[in-house]
């Protein structure tokens, strides 16, 4: 059996028809990977101070719905980074506004289409390679 895929619509149709669960997993991994990139940008824009703000910035997969996949960029408040809001919006005593999350969001929005396609292609390629290795291993046994 040979399947030829020529465009993004063909990829979408093929995944939805042949492997809907795998399509959801690939999209979930893509969304989380985009959030990971945004958290890295936010860490790069975060100020260096005596607190633990850079160490508290991260990403996590969020609960979505059947049709919506979510991931979030968060400042972990369990650490000593509770003051991230003051640094983000300039509401602290010094009035300094760092806007690290806003800068990360603007950088991601500027290149979201190319970044999304690149991440999606990587995830799809690795999923297909994983399936091929699994099928080859099952054929040997």
pLDDT digits (tens, 9 = 90+) for 31-59: 888 888 888 888 887 777 666 777 778 88
In this structure, the dihedral spanned by the alpha carbons of residues 85, 86, 90 and 94, taken in order and rounded to 10 degrees, is -170
User: Residue 84 is part of which domain span?
Assistant: 31-128
> 37 in a domain, yes or no?
yes
> 80 in a domain, yes or no?
yes
Q: Binning pLDDT at 50, 70 and 90, where does residue 1 land?
A: very low
> 83 in a domain, yes or no?
yes
- Whole-model pTM: value is 0.69
pLDDT at position 18 is 65
Q: Residue 108 contacts by C-beta under 8 Å, 6 or more apart in sequence?
A: 34, 37, 38, 41, 115
Q: CA 78, CA 75: separation in Å to the nearest integer?
A: 9
> 10 in a domain, yes or no?
no
Q: Binning pLDDT at 50, 70 and 90, where does residue 108 land?
A: confident
**Could you give the residue ranges of the DSSP H alpha helices within 1-141?**
8-18, 20-45, 53-56, 84-89, 100-110, 112-140
Percentage of residues in the chain having pLDDT higher than 70: 75
> 119 in a domain, yes or no?
yes
> 139 in a domain, yes or no?
no
How many domains does the chain fold into? 1
Question: How many CB atoms sit inside 10 A of residue 27's CB?
Answer: 15
> 4 in a domain, yes or no?
no
Average pLDDT, the chain: 76
């Amino acid at each position: 059996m040979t399947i030829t895929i020529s465009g993004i619509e063909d990829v979408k149709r093929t995944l939805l028809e042949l492997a809907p669960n795998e399509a959801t997993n690939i999209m979930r991994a893509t969304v989380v990977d985009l959030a990971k990139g945004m958290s890295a940008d936010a860490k790069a824009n975060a100020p260096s101070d005596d607190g633990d703000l850079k160490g508290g910035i991260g990403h996590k997969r969020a609960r979505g719905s059947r049709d919506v996949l979510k991931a979030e960029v968060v400042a972990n408040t369990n650490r000593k980074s509770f003051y991230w809001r003051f640094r983000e919006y300039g509401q602290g005593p010094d009035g300094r506004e760092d806007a690290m999350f806003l800068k990360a969001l603007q950088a991601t929005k500027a290149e979201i289409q190319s970044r999304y396609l690149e991440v999606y292609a990587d995830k799809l390629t690795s999923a297909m390679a994983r399936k091929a290795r699994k099928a080859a291993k099952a054929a040997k046994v």
